[in-house]
């Protein structure tokens, strides 16, 4: 089923529109994604590049993967939000970060990769306390 998804970065200067559905939605725990995101994983939705229209200024960073493909990550040039990744292993495709999507309605994580690199803290422990919003708490308070 064809569906249109929209998204934007934290500051709003980079926006995108993509015609779906995605080819796959994957959660990646590799060390590179950990540092990229500042958390324990990224979640990305892969589309063909021609399904994606992006506007706004992006900066890019490229590195070689373990499989010797060149991976390029693109960020908002102003706020640094990760917008997409692409790899020479899958030319003609982009993987958009799911967290930048306005409404990822109907999308679910289908595969988890680099599970062996998942940090132990990237899950909720049984004793974690949840608040619906930011609680009224300060250090030492």
Residues that bind Zn ion (CB under 5 A): 9, 11, 13, 28, 30, 33, 76, 78-79
The radius of gyration of the chain's CA atoms, rounded to the nearest angstrom, is 16
- Please, what is the minimum distance in Å from the beta carbon of residue 60 to Zn ion? 14
- Please, what is the minimum distance in Å from the beta carbon of residue 24 to Zn ion? 14
Nearer to Zn ion, 28 or 52 (CB): 28
Residue 69 is classified by DSSP as P
Task: Measure the CA–CA gap between 80 and 10, rounded to whole angstroms.
Answer: 8
- Please, what is the minimum distance in Å from the beta carbon of residue 89 to Zn ion? 13
Of 114, 101, 109, 98, nearest in space to 34 by CA: 114
Nearer to Zn ion, 66 or 136 (CB): 66
Nearer to Zn ion, 67 or 138 (CB): 67
SS3 96: strand
């Amino acid at each position: 089923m064809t569906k249109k998804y929209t998204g934007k970065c934290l500051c709003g200067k980079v926006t995108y529109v993509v015609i779906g559905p995605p080819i796959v939605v994957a959660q990646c725990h590799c060390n590179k994604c950990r540092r990229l995101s500042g958390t324990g994983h990224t979640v990305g939705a892969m589309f063909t590049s021609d399904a994606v229209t992006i506007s706004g200024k992006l900066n890019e960073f490229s590195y070689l993967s373990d499989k010797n493909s060149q991976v390029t990550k693109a960020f908002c040039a102003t706020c640094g939000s990760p917008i997409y990744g692409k790899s020479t292993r899958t030319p003609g495709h982009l993987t958009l970060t799911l967290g930048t999507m306005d409404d990822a309605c109907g999308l679910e994580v289908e595969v988890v990769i680099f599970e062996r690199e998942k940090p132990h803290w990237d899950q909720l422990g049984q004793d974690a306390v949840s608040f619906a919003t930011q609680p009224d708490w300060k250090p030492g308070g």
